[in-house]
Amino acid sequence: MDVRPRSRWRRAATFSIPLGLFAVVTLFPFYWMFVTSIRPDEELYSVDVSPFYTLHPTLAHFRFLLRESFFGHWLWNTLFVAVLSTIISLFCGILAGYALARLRFRGAGTMGIGIFITYLVPPTLLFIPLVAVVGAFGLLDSTWSLILTYPTFLIPFCTWLLMGYFKTIPREIEECARIDGASRIQSMVRIVLPSAMPGILSAGIFAFTLSANEFLYALVFLSSPQQKTVPVGVVSELIRGDVFFWGPLMAGALLGSIPVAIIYSFFVDYYVQGMTGAVKG
């Protein structure tokens, strides 16, 4: 009896079909955003046309978004805040994670757990005292308020992730460099950091994605239309009362998701490797 057809059916039932369903469910929101963003208003509000395709595609919603709204400002503010927040969080996370993973001092394990616990505190509780801190610095309605507050929840996770990854790097490599005359900083920069690059990129992708998609802090701290980020600007400026501008809304959501998707497509292998190393650590 030939077992190859049975093995093919088993592979399809256990791998191909579930993977296909997962891909459809994952990609369907992007398809819906794309179709809605190119549908004219006549089709958007007509019950006689199927919502899954369009008969007369148009770029009018994209033109409205780019010409008659502050979407360019929102996109620049989002990238500016996300890049600076990621750099600050990675710098602090690398130093803290290396110290907790490599240096021997009393309470290192407890401190590492405490740092990660701070990441679990809900932002809905933290933004209340942070409003007073941001106001005291005179940064309300400024993108610098987000750059100041985003590291409060990015640094703990980056530290925890990098601490686990640093533990997977053998100490002997660094000790050999120390024996050859390298200082602690030199051995960290020249030996440990290049070896930990997948973990660093993984933490950077996470920090960039979380800061680019953050909504609550940006909604509370920013009020001027020009200062808003994409998640807040698209929702607050393209919904007026009970009127939803569905075409520009979906166009803004689609364009806002492109930078993050591009970054993931380039660094997905490093992201998976970094998360795997952190879990093993």
In this predicted model, what pLDDT tens digit does every residue of 84-101 receive, in sequence order? 999 999 999 999 888 888
Distance CA 82, CA 89 (A): 10
Whether the model pTM is above 0.75: yes
| Beta-bridge mates of residue 239 | 244
Going from the C-alpha of 175 to that of each of 156, 168, 169, 280, 281, the distances in angstroms are 27, 15, 12, 22, 19
Q: What's the pLDDT at 5?
A: 64
The CATH number of the domain covering residues in 70-280: 1.10.3720.10
Ranges for all domains in the chain classified under CATH 1.10.3720.10 = 70-280
Higher pLDDT, 99 or 8: 99
What are residue 239's phi and psi, to 5 degrees? -125, 110
Quote the mean pLDDT of the chain. Answer: 83
Distance CA 197, CA 195 (A): 6
Q: What's the pLDDT at 276?
A: 56
Mean pLDDT highest for which of 4-8, 59-63, 121-125, 184-188?
59-63
Residue 45 has pLDDT above 90, yes or no: no
Residue 78 has pLDDT above 60, yes or no: yes
